[in-house]
Structure 1
Amino acid sequence: MIRIVIAEDDQLIREALKLTVEQDEAIEVVGCASNGLQAFELCGRLLPDVVLMDFSMPECDGVEGTRLIKSKYDIKVIILTISFESDTVSKALDSGADGYILKDVRPGELIQMIKSTVMGLRAVHSNVLSKMIKHGTGYTESSPPTHESEERLLTIRLTGREKSVLQRIVCGRSNKEIAADLLLSEGRVRNIITNMLKKLDLGDRTQLAIYAFKNNIV
């Protein structure tokens, strides 16, 4: 069971998020807060796996709340916001956030991003990724290599099957969903992803998504 704390100052949005994520039987919302400090205090009492943290909140915003949590606990934090701003993304990720998602994310995609974050992957909304690349926003730990390494990446050819899998990764689809789409086994999908990571010398699905945007695969 994935235990979630939701930090959101708008009660209606807070309840909507709770209903959304609890559609999945593997997720339980164990607490709700209206600012980052309250979220930090709940983490001390409840020790959740993930905090869904609104970026803009009174008294203690999402950035400061994330810093507090990361300074003391090994808890994943996903920042939620209503729009993309390059400086907002930078502040969120610099605070130690494990993900950055726009609030208009589809329910299924939000649930998948939560699960991916628990597995140790950075969760970044696909729309945010494309805009980060367009605006040149840094993405420190998960940024693909640059200069001569990036030139090498551009010369590497992906197969049609690999590109099909990659396109679905960008859309936030799980291995199970990709397998169903392409009439493959989950094991085969995992192998394709592993091979792409090795071929491109990348570390995770987020880096694959950035590669896809840079090379017009999506």
Structure 2
Amino acid sequence: MSSALRAELRNNQSCSELNQLRNNGRIPAVLYGLNQQNQNIHVDYSDIQQHIRRHGKSSIVDLTMQDGTTEKVIINEVQKDNLKDRIVHVDFKRVNMNKPMVTTVPIALIGEATGAKQGGVVQFQTRELEIRCLPTERPETIPVYVSELEIGSSITIADLDIPSGVEVQHEMNEVIVSIVPPRLQPVEEEPTDEIQEPEVVGARDSHGLDEAK
């Protein structure tokens, strides 16, 4: 499954020109791959943000240029301003639809784990998988069914239902998600009202002499 984005060529390269693009709601990007010439382009900020939210970063994109030509691409890299949590640059990579590619696919948890209902804590070891497949066979997500997962148990790569034509680039015993026991809170000692008598050092006998030690 693919989605569509529109792009326009750009000539601006300086920091001030790129920032002006961003201020106008556009994101600088580059298109490369398949031994073709690199192209500096820009795309609409809202469109690319919405695409990533719906389809992830590695889904197939029909990238249409202003001259009407369309290319099959994937989003190979997204650069963000972490302070503002905003996209600042995108790398698009051309793909050959008839040749297997290595890409990533997000993991989708299905259901609520029994162990979580009992107070356990869900621990992710990874939220996406690296796979190898034809672009047309890339799944949107890999479902992980956790309803029967109890405290102390886990799900590995070997437990997943991987679609035909997809090769997972991980060890089969690699853990995806597990349920661990809840952390015990330290028990605070209750205050006591009992007044302790101070220890008497060198107590004297009835004659005023120190007792033998």
Q: Same fold (TM over 0.5)?
A: no
Q: Which has the larger radius of gyration?
A: 2
Question: Between Structure 1 and Structure 2, which shows a larger proportion of helix residues?
Answer: 1
Question: Between Structure 1 and Structure 2, which shows a larger proportion of strand residues?
Answer: 2
Q: TM-score, normalised by structure 2?
A: 0.24
